[in-house]
Amino acid sequence: MSSATTTPLFRADPYAREAATVVIAHAEGGLVPDASLFYPAGGGQPGDTGALRWEGGAARITDTRKGPEGAVVLIPEAGAALPPPGTAVTQVLDWDRRYRIMRVHTALHLLSVVIPLPVTGGQIGPDKGRLDFDMPEAPADRDALERALNDLVARDLAVTEDWITDAALAANPWLVKTMSVAPPTGAGRVRLVRIGAGAAQVDLQPCGGTHVARTGEIGPLRLGKIEKKGRQNRRVSVHLAA
């Protein structure tokens, strides 16, 4: 497994739905592809699901996880036969689920804009997501937050990425909004996700997940419960309206 590093196709093109690759190893109950269309669970975002097809066989992929040393491990359904290393396979993403997750994930970035407080936790799903904030008191006007969130969606802001060095991130700690999850460092550079550009920029923070290309793709959002979670923490949920 020491050389079984996986190229992250999901990062190069989060809209790709199908891609060819080669199995390079079996590990941790699954298989390691040379290049992965599937996003491995991390940063609050769940692992992708879908299917693998190869000559003479197929398997349902029920989860995707991070393996050691940059490997991505595709987890098949229980009892599925795995193609041996060296097999050429086609990855087919469960696109509807992934796209909804991309919309929710980008919506949570916007939630961190309308509630500009430190984030203590979060979780992303295909229909809703939530962020936990260091927020001793509940927001005074919940409806105003929902309107502000949908205003950012309606502005159809571009969602782009930049890369900075580990040292540059360490010199600019204000970029990190999350208190519970540290940005992935150690590889020499860190990916930043930017929403808006120039004077229209509303957000810039480290993130390794998948996002839509423009906020307009998120669609209408509904603010869910605001729950008290401990003395200073409150959990705010966001739902896709359609």
Domain 7-93 class, CATH top level: mainly beta
Taking the CA atoms of residue 217, residue 212, residue 168 and residue 165 in that order, the dihedral angle to the nearest 10 degrees is -160
User: Which tokens in the block code for residue 41?
Assistant: 């669970």
Closest by CA position to 115, among listed 95, 137, 90, 93: 137
Each residue's pLDDT, cut to its tens digit, for the chain (242 residues) gives 445 789 999 999 999 999 999 999 999 889 999 999 999 999 899 999 999 999 999 999 999 999 988 899 999 999 898 999 999 999 999 999 999 999 999 999 999 999 999 999 999 999 999 999 999 888 889 999 999 999 999 999 999 999 887 777 777 776 776 655 566 655 677 889 999 999 999 999 988 999 999 999 999 999 998 998 888 899 999 999 97
State how far the Cα of 2 lies from the Cα of 4, in Å rounded to an integer.
6
State how far the Cα of 166 lies from the Cα of 150, in Å rounded to an integer.
33
CATH code of domain 98-240: 3.30.980.10
Q: How far apart are the first and last CA of the chain?
A: 42
Domains of the chain: which residue ranges?
A: 7-93, 98-240
Domains 7-93 and 98-240 share a fold: no
pLDDT at residue 2, as a whole number: 44
pLDDT at residue 68, as a whole number: 87
Task: Evaluate whether 39 touches 48 at the Cβ level (below 8 Å).
Answer: yes
